[in-house]
């Protein structure tokens, strides 16, 4: 049984109730959910089996049914208490069984919602479902459950706080492993060991660990590269507790601090502080980004722009800790209204701004409360040099 279900079983009733209220408003007879993050949110199913498509069939009334491979029966019996399990053999697909489940609901089934932008619903699977229910009208409900997940309950916030402690432990171990002559692989090994021993489980992303020659690669991680004096090591990682994440990032220098780095670090930290001041219930995401950009502009780097200065985090299933196959970012063009209970991965970085200037990067997990922003990860933000 998942940790969340064991401690807050009533939350699942409330979550399904909110979904069914939406269904009633939209006059939907049933919905099919295929996003792993949303299936976890509604049932607590926490395993690596999501590589194969799952479907959660939620009728407007009656029993919820979880459909996946038959071999997952024991895991689902141990973890899921609010849905009946229907397994399919490996010569079938999840669409075969989900179609039978839907047809069994009766001839009055006409209006069906599905997550048409879910990574868990490939095109062939969606077409196979449609063929089995030719009389049905399909409605795209992508993002509906995702939006419910944006605000974290008190119980969820506890898991994020626990994940932040794991993140700090993993970061401390990774930083301690950095020295001239060490390899990126050794840093990764120390990071993973600390993450597990601190109480974490497997995160949506593994830690991103890259040194100078690969700093510009966004989503790659460690190699056998040997760290040399003058290198910068990019570290971005997240602890994970009960599938809740708290990302954390730092840039560590080997042997010496390059010229200009302290100045860039000061700008990054000031911009980060501006984001914290702008994070208030009722503020818009674009206003928060503008606060970050304003500091950068005043520092003389008005040409420098980023795609966001942070994004919402919480539940994550591999291959991502962003909550699915999209990113809800604090962007210059976003009108998302911020609410108390949201958790963010806030990033402030100035990398490759101008020839001859240093690079710097800092990121932390931040919880927005009624009185403002609280930084949950505690790793120091001052420039770090490892000898």
How far is 38 from 45, CA to CA, in rounded Å? 10
Percent of the chain beyond pLDDT 90? Answer: 92
Please name the residue ranges forming H helices in the chain.
3-7, 10-26, 36-43, 73-79, 94-104, 123-132, 144-148, 154-177, 184-197, 261-278, 285-298
Residue 3 is predicted with a pLDDT of: 53
Is pLDDT at 107 greater than 80 in this prediction?
A: no
Residue 1 is predicted with a pLDDT of: 38
Is pLDDT at 5 greater than 80 in this prediction?
A: no
Percent of the chain beyond pLDDT 70? Answer: 98
Residue 109 is predicted with a pLDDT of: 84
pLDDT tens digits, residue range 275-318? Answer: 999 999 999 999 999 999 999 999 999 999 999 999 999 999 99
Q: What mean pLDDT, rounded, does the chain reach?
A: 95
pLDDT tens digits, residue range 175-210? Answer: 999 999 999 999 999 999 999 999 999 999 999 999
Structure token digits, residue 171: 């970061």
How far is 142 from 124, CA to CA, in rounded Å? 18
């Amino acid at each position: 049984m998942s940790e969340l279900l064991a401690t807050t079983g009533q939350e699942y009733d409330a979550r399904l109730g909110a979904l069914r209220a939406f269904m009633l408003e939209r006059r939907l007879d049933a919905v099919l959910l295929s996003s792993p993050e949303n299936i976890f949110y509604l049932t607590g199913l926490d395993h690596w089996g999501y590589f194969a498509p799952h479907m959660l069939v939620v009728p407007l009334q009656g029993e919820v049914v979880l459909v996946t491979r038959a071999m997952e029966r024991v895991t689902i019996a141990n973890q899921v208490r609010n849905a009946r399990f229907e397994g399919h053999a490996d010569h079938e697909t999840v669409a075969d069984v989900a179609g039978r489940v839907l047809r069994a609901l009766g001839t009055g089934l006409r209006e069906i919602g599905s997550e048409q932008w879910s990574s868990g619903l490939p095109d062939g699977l969606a077409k196979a479902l449609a063929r089995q229910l030719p009389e049905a009208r399909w409605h795209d409900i992508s993002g509906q459950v995702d939006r419910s997940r944006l605000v974290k309950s008190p119980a969820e916030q506890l898991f994020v706080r626990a994940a932040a402690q794991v993140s700090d432990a993993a970061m401390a171990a990774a930083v301690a492993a950095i020295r001239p002559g060490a390899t990126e692989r050794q840093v990764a090994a120390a990071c993973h060991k600390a993450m597990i021993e601190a109480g974490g489980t497997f995160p949506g992303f593994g830690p991103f660990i890259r040194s100078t020659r690969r700093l510009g690669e966004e989503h790659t991680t460690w190699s056998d590269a040997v760290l040399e004096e003058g290198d910068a090591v990019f570290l971005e990682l997240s602890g994970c507790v009960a599938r809740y994440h708290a990302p954390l990032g730092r840039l560590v220098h080997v042997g010496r601090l390059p010229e200009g780095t302290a100045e860039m670090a000061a700008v990054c930290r000031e911009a980060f502080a501006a984001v914290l001041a702008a994070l208030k219930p009722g503020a818009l995401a674009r206003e928060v980004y503008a606060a970050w950009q304003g500091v950068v502009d005043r520092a003389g780097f008005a040409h420098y722009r980023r795609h966001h200065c942070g994004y919402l985090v919480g539940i994550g299933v591999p291959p991502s800790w962003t909550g699915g196959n999209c990113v809800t970012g604090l962007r210059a063009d976003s009108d998302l209204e911020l609410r108390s209970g949201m958790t963010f991965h806030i990033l402030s970085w100035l990398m490759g701004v101008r020839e001859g200037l240093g690079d710097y990067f800092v990121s932390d997990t931040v919880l927005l409360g009624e009185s403002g922003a609280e930084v949950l990860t505690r790793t120091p933000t001052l420039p770090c040099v490892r000898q």
